[in-house]
Each structure stands twice: as C-alpha cells, then as structure tokens.
C-alpha cells in the first residue's frame, strides 16, 4: 500500500517557523472531510511559497501515516513534506 490519498476542504491554516533561523516552516491545517468530520493535519516543509486558505480544496497524499505531498488544486501548486 504505497500511498493513501485524501481529498478535503480547508477550514483553517496556521503556519509558523520551526526556529527563527531555520528554513523549515511548520503547518497545522484543520480540514473538513467528505463526511463533515474534522481532522488536524500537521507537517513541516522547506518550501518557500505555498498558499492554502480557508475554503480551499486540498489533496493530501500519506505515506506510512504521515502527510508527504500536499496539493492545492485551485492554485496549481504542491508541497513536499520535509519529514
């Protein structure tokens, strides 16, 4: 089972830096699943530009239970998780 793919709608997004001098950003996304339940997704990345707003659709690919690829189809952009 290589990947599990999840399609959901973003409810809230929070982004902060790992430390002041690192290039790593930590993302916390609250998503609404198709059955109207909510889940929080946490991941970190070194990507400089990634935009995800409340109400945007999001596609998340999981590998071994961790979010690895996060895609915003409205903006035509994706991000790879650092860990």
pLDDT digits 0-9 by tens, 17-54 = 777 777 788 888 999 998 999 999 988 888 767 788 88
pTM above 0.85, yes or no: no
More confident residue, 68 or 15: 68
Residue 29, class by beta-carbon neighbours within 10 Å (0-12 exposed, 13-18 middle, 19+ buried)? buried
Q: What is the C-alpha separation between 64 and 42, in angstroms, rounded?
A: 14
Taking the alpha carbons at both ends of the chain, their separation in whole angstroms is: 19
CB-based contacts of 77, cutoff 8 Å, min separation 6: 49, 50, 51, 71
Q: What is the C-alpha separation between 75 and 78, in angstroms, rounded?
A: 9
């Amino acid at each position: 089972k290589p990947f599990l793919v999840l399609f959901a709608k973003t409810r809230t997004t929070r982004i902060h830096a790992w430390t002041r001098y690192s290039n790593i950003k930590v993302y916390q996304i609250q998503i609404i699943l198709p059955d109207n339940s909510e889940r929080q997704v946490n991941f970190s990345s070194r990507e400089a530009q990634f935009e995800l707003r409340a109400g945007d659709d999001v596609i998340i690919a999981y590998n071994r239970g961790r979010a690895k690829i996060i895609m915003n189809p409205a903006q035509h952009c994706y991000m790879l998780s650092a860990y």
